[in-house]
Amino acid sequence: MDLRFTPEELAFRDEVRHFMRASLPAPIRKKMVEGRHLEKDDIVRWQRILNAKGWAVTHWPAERGGQDWTPVQQYIFQDELQQAPAPAPLPFGVSMVGPVIIAFGSEAQKRRFLPRIANLDDWWCQGFSEPGAGSDLASLKTAAKRDGEHYIVNGQKIWTTMAQHADWIFCLVRTNTQGKKQEGITFLLIDMRSKGITVRPIVTIDGGAEVNEVFFDDVKVPVENRVGAENKGWDYAKFLLGNERTGIARVGYSKERIRRIRELASLTRDGGRPLIEDERFREKLASLEIELKALEMTQLRVVAAERTRDPKKPDPYSSMLKIKGAEIQQAVSELMLEIVGPYALPYAPDTEGANEPPVGPDWAAPIAPTYFNWRKISIYGGSNEIQKNIIAKAILGL
């Protein structure tokens, strides 16, 4: 297998890189480089710039607004986007529910939702996890009972990222309690403005409030908002999670963070030499770069195999990317924490109401919150332990 890029692919990389440099607003890029919090308006603004170029939903079919790019071009685009660094198009719409609607939704759903997802006219969130159903997602209990042309939904979702901004939520709900638990789940699209929905924020260890609890009390959902067949939602969820796990590898972003590590580690520390001159630190950094290169080669092999894979079936190799990508991103955050040194513990959360002044250099402020926040990467999208089970069963045949 030849993993080298062709001259045409290298020219395409140059085109994408030039666009990112010319079109990404400087304030957004600065926040990304410094690891600071992005506002909703930042994400909307950038996605609409991409959509105007035709690049917000490049992996969708061309007739739905996507690009007829090869898997290698898709990979190059994502790599350059992450290395810019630029925000990804909102994944809950573009990479999760959008592909599910394209693959399994009705024509009416495609016409109604897809253009608004591409332009971020609708902000979507994901209603999968519940207090008793996280990694064991099939144990979910949020119930939807059919009542004429509506479902009546009751239950609770948790760890719902950015639900405070959302216009819509895609939900897994239980419509049948008989038989295997995976066989009684349905995929619904629910308007967040519906009567009976309550969003309650969860303040996380880093001081942020990006995740929420969402409660459903007799929420009426039109049957026309069901994706695919009743009780077949588990199949659609597996398809969605396969897409999510591949993106979690975030090779390009880890490359950019390593460049940032080298930049910050080269700064003269108070009363001492730059950390980059420490042999042990350089060993850690070199080891991390080797791990990242191995992950990149694995991802390229997965990309090369996409030409022959059924796009409606989940790819078990995405679990490998998810595990290693999560481990590398967490290792990156640990090295950043080592650079910030004694300024790691006292930090001012990037939220309203913080009453502690910044300690140390300005660039140090976001590092500790990022370290704490990134503990979640090995959990969301299916915990790393669950991914190992998938690999054992689907790849190793154990």
CATH assignment of the domain containing 293: 1.20.140.10
Asked if residue 364 and residue 264 are part of one domain, the reply reads yes
Catalytic, 244? Answer yes
Does 128 map to a domain? yes
∠ CA 378-380-385 to the nearest 5 degrees? 50
pLDDT value for 353: 42
Q: At what angle do helices 40-53 and 26-34 cross, to 10 degrees?
A: 120
Asked if residue 259 and residue 386 are part of one domain, the reply reads yes
Does 237 map to a domain? no
Asked if residue 334 and residue 273 are part of one domain, the reply reads yes
Asked if residue 293 and residue 209 are part of one domain, the reply reads no
CATH of residue 66: 1.10.540.10
What the block records as the tokens of 357 is 């002044």
Q: Which residues pair with 212 in a beta bridge?
A: 201
Does 103 map to a domain? no
pTM exceeds 0.75: yes
Does 346 map to a domain? yes
Helical residues (DSSP H) of the chain, grouped into ranges: 7-23, 26-34, 40-53, 71-83, 91, 98-104, 107-118, 233-248, 251-265, 279-305, 317-340, 367-373, 384-390
Of 182, 199, 232, the domain-final residue: 232
pLDDT value for 296: 92
Domain count, the chain: 3
Asked if residue 48 and residue 130 are part of one domain, the reply reads no
Choice among 80, 244, 256, 296 that is catalytic: 244
Asked if residue 271 and residue 350 are part of one domain, the reply reads yes
Asked if residue 382 and residue 291 are part of one domain, the reply reads yes
Does 171 map to a domain? yes
pLDDT value for 55: 98
Q: Which of 118, 40, 24 is nearest to 80 (CA)?
A: 24
Q: Which of 256, 137, 395 is nearest to 264 (CA)?
A: 256
CATH of residue 202: 2.40.110.10
- Asked if the bond preceding 85 is cis, omega within 30° of 0, the reply is yes
Asked if residue 370 and residue 262 are part of one domain, the reply reads yes
Does 242 map to a domain? no
Q: What are the pLDDT tens digits along the chain (398 aa)? A: 567 889 999 999 999 999 999 999 999 999 999 999 899 999 999 999 999 999 999 999 999 999 999 989 999 999 999 999 999 999 999 999 999 999 999 999 999 999 999 999 999 999 999 998 877 889 999 999 999 999 999 999 999 999 999 999 999 999 999 989 999 999 999 999 999 999 999 988 877 889 999 999 999 999 999 999 999 999 999 888 766 555 668 999 999 999 999 999 998 766 678 999 999 999 999 999 999 999 999 888 888 777 666 665 656 778 888 899 999 999 999 999 999 888 776 544 555 444 445 567 888 888 988 998 898 888 877 788 888 888 888 888 87
pLDDT value for 355: 41
Asked if residue 378 and residue 286 are part of one domain, the reply reads yes
Asked if residue 283 and residue 165 are part of one domain, the reply reads no
130, 131, 136, 142 alpha-carbon torsion, rounded to 10°: -40
Of 176, 203, 232, the domain-final residue: 232
Give the structural domain span for 298. Answer: 249-395
Q: Coil, strand or helix: which one is 150?
A: strand
pLDDT value for 365: 83
Q: Where are the beta strands (DSSP E) in 137-225?
A: 143-147, 150-157, 168-174, 185-191, 197-202, 211-222
Does 210 map to a domain? yes
Asked if residue 391 and residue 264 are part of one domain, the reply reads yes
CA 58 to CA 74: how far, in whole Å? 7
Asked if residue 284 and residue 354 are part of one domain, the reply reads yes
pLDDT value for 253: 95
Pairing type for strands 168-174 and 124-127 reads parallel
Of 232, 262, 282, the domain-final residue: 232
Does 97 map to a domain? no
The helix (run of H) or strand (run of E) holding residue 227 is: strand 226-227
